[in-house]
Structure 1
Amino acid sequence: MKMAALSAASGVPVPTIKFYLREGLLPRGDVTVPNQAEYSDSHVRRLRLIRALIEVGGITVAAAGQVLDAIDSELPVEHTFGVAQQSVSERIDPQDVPQHALDAVDAATPGWRVHPENPGRLTAARALLAFERAGQTDLRGWVERYAAAALQVAEADLDEVDARDGREAKAEIIVVGTALGDALFSGLRRAAQEHISAVRYLPTPDTEHP
């Protein structure tokens, strides 16, 4: 298909496709005549992946390039997790996080095999520091319960990866799941908060007064 057809099939405007080509996010098509190329369904799929990463996942073009390179590489699948996490996470200098906040995270995640500079560990420690500075220090097991829930989510993530056949398919779901999983879980958390608050605090039809 020509670029106009690629644009129609993917929903990505032609100028944006050209930008992705220049940035190396989208592979070049097969050149047929000067200044013209043919594109395939694989280009449509890659464009949809790029849009998901950038528009929904909220990652930068540079970060998208890093995770797409990880998908296309021959590196072990577990390496893709590290690339994906680093790409979608804010860069935090470990020296900027007080040790007592890191200790609090470690206390809530005993036995976890996590690198000291894992972006999730640093982010969680910084969040606890913000709670502390806001005067919210009595969290009554909240962090431990979040950690337990995070383990269940991580199991679901890895089960999804294991269900895929082939390295490329596994690497792709790792990247998509890491970038979009945060948005998915955040949305479900907010919906669940409304549900639980309604169950706990709003009267049911049986308890409402006439």
Structure 2
Amino acid sequence: MRISELAATTGSNVSTIKYYLREGLMPPGVSRGATQADYGPAHVHRIRVVKALAEVAGLPLHRVREVLRLIDEPGEDTFSTLGRAVAALPPYLHDAGAQESESGTDYPLARAAMESLGQVFDPGYAAVAQLERALQAVAAAGIPLGDEQLAVYGRSLMEMAEYDIAGIPGEPAATVEHAVLGTALYEPVILALRRLAHQDAAARRLGDPPRP
């Protein structure tokens, strides 16, 4: 298909696609002359991935490029690649381009939480530093997570995690893409469902549910 068809198929502007091409966010099409090229399903898919990361998940351009590089070149250690991909997703703890976490850094609140839940504690994994900051914030606000609440959250989230991991493809590039997009795009769904669950629980406990 030509670039105009690619734009129509993906709901994008031609100028946006040309920008993605200039920035190296998608591979060039098959040249059909000095000013023409053909594009295929892989280009459609890549545009949808870029739009999901940039427009839905809200990643800045340099983070989108980082995630795409990991998808295209996942390396042999898929587990480490997934960790680097998570570091490219918000919340960001440092200035752009800075290391999100360091293996030599201790995170006492996150460590205690992971040990309580019986989960792996790896201080080099970006989500550990994210958890540490979040736990510091709730403690500072005067509503720290108690052991019982942490256990309830941990059980529910582990069930979700095991379901997600069981469903990811085995091929490295597909694994990274699936995990990153799932994290970036499902987390807003999880947040909304949690809020709606609170509404339902509160309505049943405190009064009649709202009428449609």
Give me the TM-score of the superposition, normalised by structure 2: 0.83
Structure 1 residues 47 and 172, CA gap change in structure 2 (3 angstroms): same
2:58, 2:74 → 1: CA distance?
Answer: 26
Structure 1 residues 160 and 138, CA gap change in structure 2 (3 angstroms): closer
Shift of residue 94 of structure 1? Answer: 5.9
Structure 1 residues 64 and 151, CA gap change in structure 2 (3 angstroms): same
1:176, 1:16 → 2: CA distance?
Answer: 21
Shift of residue 132 of structure 1? Answer: 2.1
2:141, 2:131 → 1: CA distance?
Answer: 15
**Deviation string for 1:32-69 (max 9, x for gaps)?**
11021111111011111111111111211111111111
Shift of residue 191 of structure 1? Answer: 1.6
1:94, 1:60 → 2: CA distance?
Answer: 19
Shift of residue 171 of structure 1? Answer: 2.5
Q: Which amino acid in 2 is paired with 1:85?
A: V
Contact in 1 for aligned 2:93/2:130 (Cα 8 Å): no
Give % identity: 31
180-189 or 1-10, larger mean C-alpha shift: 180-189
From 148, 160, 168, give the equivalent of 1:153.
Answer: 160
Alignment RMSD (CA, Å): 2.3
- Give the unaligned 5+ runs of structure 1: 205-210
Shift of residue 113 of structure 1? Answer: 1.9
Q: Which amino acid in 1 is paired with 2:93?
A: R
2:123, 2:198 → 1: CA distance?
Answer: 32
Q: Which amino acid in 2 is paired with 1:173?
A: H
Contact in 1 for aligned 2:7/2:13 (Cα 8 Å): yes
Residue-pair matches, total: 198
Q: What is the SS of the residue equivalent to 1:88?
A: coil
2:74, 2:149 → 1: CA distance?
Answer: 40
User: Equivalences for 1:72-151 in 2 at 5 Å?
Assistant: 72-76=72-76, 77-89=78-90, 90-92=92-94, 102-110=107-115, 111-137=118-144, 139=146, 141-151=148-158
Shift of residue 158 of structure 1? Answer: 0.5
Aligned match of 1:34: 34
